[in-house]
Amino acid sequence: MINKNAPVGVFDSGVGGLTVMREIMRQTPNEKIIYFGDTARVPYGSKSRDTVTKYSRQIVRFLQSKEVKAIVVACNTASAYALEEIEKETDIPIIGVVKPGAKVAAAATVNGRVGVIGTEGTISSGIYSEYIKKINPKASVIGKACPLFVPLVEEGLWQDPVTDDIAGRYLEELIDTGIDTLILGCTHYPLIRSTVGRLMGEEVTLVNPAYETARELKELLQEKNMLSDAGAKLGEERYRFYVSDAAEKFKRFANSIIKYGILSAKIVNIEEY
Ligand code: DGL
């Protein structure tokens, strides 16, 4: 019997998934959330499918040990590489960020030309293209890996000439392709949305998969009658954070993304799961 007041588990390779968590906090404020950031093994974007799948499996086991009622794979790379596998192995609902992002982009494009930016893993998996083409077989999808965006964001260079310069180089190829929609296919990119938007121009619609993912989570919980009606009990933390390393650094960065006041992040030895 599912406990509808059990927490939702959210995981990412590190801090970036907090952009997804903050959307879940906005759209389903009653839900308790357990967040896991794999700060010891980040980045996932340059690792192989097998490694990312192994890591994701361990994190799912950890979250299940906390008796979560559903899991959100907030990481695009893990959604691209591992979701299909871990879904098969898990008996609670799991949703990723790729399908919701693809759905919004397919609905938003007018000329059928969609761009995707993400990590090397997400782009080389071709998964955004696959999902968009399932909805609109005539769509053409152009991917571009932007590996330097993650470290730039983590260095706090959200609005900086260095980021402008790198973004200009990455996006140059996309600007001439006539895309009218661009998916921010990586957890970190919403934090440099204004830079990307300025370079791409007003006529290009930017899609942040986080919003749609949170909406789909809400819908799923509603459908299964699993939406929490209680929130957190007095003295109980509504949001709990776990990481695999560098808890203090995580806490500092996290507090700049979500306006909640994260007091602590506990370290977990994720290799044990
Ligand atoms: N969270 C990852 C993603 O959305 C970006 C960071 C990483 O490479 O691990 O793909």
pLDDT, mean over the chain: 95
Whole-number pLDDT of residue 232: 67
Q: Could you name the CATH architecture of 98-209?
A: 3-Layer(aba) Sandwich (3.40)
pLDDT at 229 exceeding the cut of 90: no
Distance, in Å, from the CA atom of 17 to the CA atom of 125, rounded to the nearest integer, reads: 20
| Ligand 1 center to 36 CA (angstroms) | 13
Cα distances from 66 to residues 69, 101, 115, 202, 270, in angstroms, run 9, 28, 38, 44, 13
| Closest residue to atom 8 of ligand 1, CA basis | 45
pLDDT at 234 exceeding the cut of 80: no
| Closest residue to atom 6 of ligand 1, CA basis | 43
Is the Cβ–Cβ distance between 143 and 116 less than 8 Å? Answer: yes
Closest CA to 152 of 43, 52, 71, 53: 43
| Ligand 1 center to 62 CA (angstroms) | 19
pLDDT band for 1, please (50, 70, 90 cuts).
Answer: low
| Stretch(es) of the chain classified as CATH 3.40.50.1860 | 8-96+211-272, 98-209
Distance, in Å, from the CA atom of 132 to the CA atom of 109, rounded to the nearest integer, reads: 10
Catalytic-labelled residue, pool 8, 24, 75, 262: 75
pLDDT band for 146, please (50, 70, 90 cuts).
Answer: very high
pLDDT at 2 exceeding the cut of 90: no
Q: Does CATH place domain 8-96+211-272 in 3.40.50.1860?
A: yes
Ligand 1: residues with CB < 6 A are 12-14, 16, 42-45, 75-77, 118-119, 122, 150, 186-188
Average pLDDT over every residue of 149-163: 95
DSSP 35-80: EEE-TTT---TTS-HHHHHHHHHHHHHHHHHTT-SEEEE--HHHHH
Closest CA to 177 of 140, 209, 208: 140
Distance, in Å, from the CA atom of 52 to the CA atom of 86, rounded to the nearest integer, reads: 11
pLDDT at 156 exceeding the cut of 80: yes
Whole-number pLDDT of residue 262: 82
| Closest residue to atom 7 of ligand 1, CA basis | 43
- Pocket probe for ligand 1: among 23, 77, 153, 208, the residue whose CB has the most ligand atoms within 8 Å is 77
pTM, entire model: 0.96
pLDDT band for 120, please (50, 70, 90 cuts).
Answer: very high
pLDDT tens by residue, 28-57: 999 999 999 999 999 999 999 999 999 999
Whole-number pLDDT of residue 235: 63
Average pLDDT over every residue of 253-271: 90
The reply to whether 186 belongs to the active site is: yes
Catalytic-labelled residue, pool 186, 204, 207, 254: 186
261: left (phi over 0), alpha (psi -120 to 50) or beta: left
pLDDT at 133 exceeding the cut of 70: yes
pLDDT at 176 exceeding the cut of 90: no
Whole-number pLDDT of residue 260: 78
| Closest residue to atom 1 of ligand 1, CA basis | 75
Which of these ranges, 175-184, 240-249, 258-267, has the smallest mean pLDDT?
Answer: 258-267
pLDDT tens by residue, 97-107: 999 999 999 99
Q: Which residue has the tokens 């973004």?
A: 167
